[in-house]
Structure 1
Amino acid sequence: MNQFEEKTIKSETVFNGRIIDVQVDDVMLPNGKTSKREIVKHPGAVAIIPVSKNNKIIFVKQYRKPLEKVLVEIPAGKLEEGESPEITALRELEEETGFTTKNMNYVSSFYTSPGFADEIIYLYETNSLEKLTELKELDEDEFVELIELSIDEAEKLIATQEIHDIKTIYAILYLKSKGMK
């Protein structure tokens, strides 16, 4: 056991949901004391940065119930069981934007809230978008509006907290680091 590791003594699933499960673990701390950890289990997700031919990012605007507000975000979605991140990224791009691509690049992955959740997001980018001839169906409980923004316009929405999620802010910083304006 390393100096920070917490050894699980007991683990109990207290909720099984459609998107998440919640478990409560009893753990032995590095100092020998015990504690409880509430853990959100999530199958993982993907996000994709779609850049149009006119060098703008395609975002989706949607209502987020946990926050009780509308956010502007890059397209993203949950990994389905047995589905690779690349397939999920393409599916979400097609469903949410009406575009497809034959060329996606893996950017990185990151944990969203490691203090209480195991969710990981795999991030991809594409700048070779093709309009679908036949639109894909959104999930039945999903309602989005597309908007295209430059980096400068996106940064203004960060300042007003219309863009207020880490995957989207990360994507914008990533594009800026590559020299996109």
Structure 2
Amino acid sequence: MIKTIQPLKHPHFIKPVEIIYEQNGKEKRWEAVQAHDSVAVLLFHPQKDAFVLVKQFRPALAMQHGFAFSYELCAGIVDKDKSLEQIAIEEVEEETGYRVEKIEKITSFFTSVGFAGSKQTLFYAEVSKQVAPGGGIDDEVIEVVHLPVAKAKEFMYDESKPKTPGLLFALCWWFEQNSQ
């Protein structure tokens, strides 16, 4: 599947950098990547009693671990002059085909503090009717996946299904909110 791996010449979304800094009187260096902040949305479909996830092709995952696809929250980078809520709503429709009217902020966190200090803002929304097939834009390869709530905890610990920490955190949040 992977044809070649080569140095990045003209990055569009990330910028590899070297940070030189002083700490405790000693000069140090750190390799890092400047990257866009992002939004992500945990989608719940009450009529199906299921979460709506995306299964997306990830070349870096294939290169590093042999998995071509990752299960993720619907998400996107913050690269437009719009509110985080509006970017999240647009991503939901592009990736899943669901139209969202009401969205609730859960929290924000940093996605990879070791090499990229990007901040992700996490939202929650309920969906009911698809208005489009989803699948992303341009040449994105995205499959819409409905994960039944009854199978979600088993899914969380299934290491054969690569998933992001944000997805795991969001599912833990949902179960905590709905445990009363």
TM over 0.5: same fold? yes
Query: Normalization by structure 2: what TM-score?
Result: 0.83
**2-structure distance, mates of 1:169, 1:125:** 14
Tell me if structure 2 keeps the 8 A contact 1:101–1:130: no
Give how far 1:20 is off: 0.8
Aligned to 1:81: 80
Take 2:108 and 2:35, find their aligned partners in 1: how far apart are those partners?
15
Equivalent residue, structure 2, for 1:26: 20
1:137 to partner: Cα distance: 7.2
Matched with 2:5 is none
2:99 alignment partner, SS class = strand
1:36 aligns with 2:35: no
Deviations 1:17-59 (A, max 9, x none): 2111122121111x20101122211121110011112231001
AA in 2 matched with 1:149: L
User: Aligned match of 1:65 in 59, 69, 77?
Assistant: 59
The gaps in structure 2 that reach 5 residues or longer are: 1-7
Q: Distance in 2 between matches of 1:25 and 1:150?
A: 44
State the AA in 1 paired with 2:43.
Answer: P
Relative distance call for 1:36 and 1:84 in structure 2 (3 A) is: same
Aligned with 1:50 (options 37, 43, 56): 43
For residues 147 and 133 of structure 2, the distance between their equivalents in structure 1, rounded to whole angstroms, comes to: 22
Is contact 2:97–2:130 with CA below 8 Å preserved after alignment?
yes
Gaps of 5+ in 1: 1-13
> Which shifted more, 40-49 or 79-88?
79-88
Seen in structure 2, the aligned counterparts of structure 1 residues 94 and 46 have a Cα distance that, compared at 3 Å, is same
3-state DSSP of counterpart to 1:37 = strand
* Correspondence for 2:172: 173
Corresponding residue for 1:140?
138
Misfit runs of 4+, over 4 Å? 134-137
TM-score w.r.t. length of structure 1: 0.82
- Show the counterpart of 2:117: 118
Which is bigger in relative contact order (C-alpha 8 A, separation at least 6)?
A: 2
Equivalent AA in structure 2 for residue 64 of structure 1: R
RMSD over aligned Cα atoms: 2.2
The match for 2:3 is none
Structure 2: how far apart are the matches of 1:82 and 1:130?
A: 28
Aligned residue-pair number: 166
- 1:17 maps to 11
Name the aligned partner's letter for residue 120 of structure 1: K
1:88 is paired with a residue of what secondary structure? helix
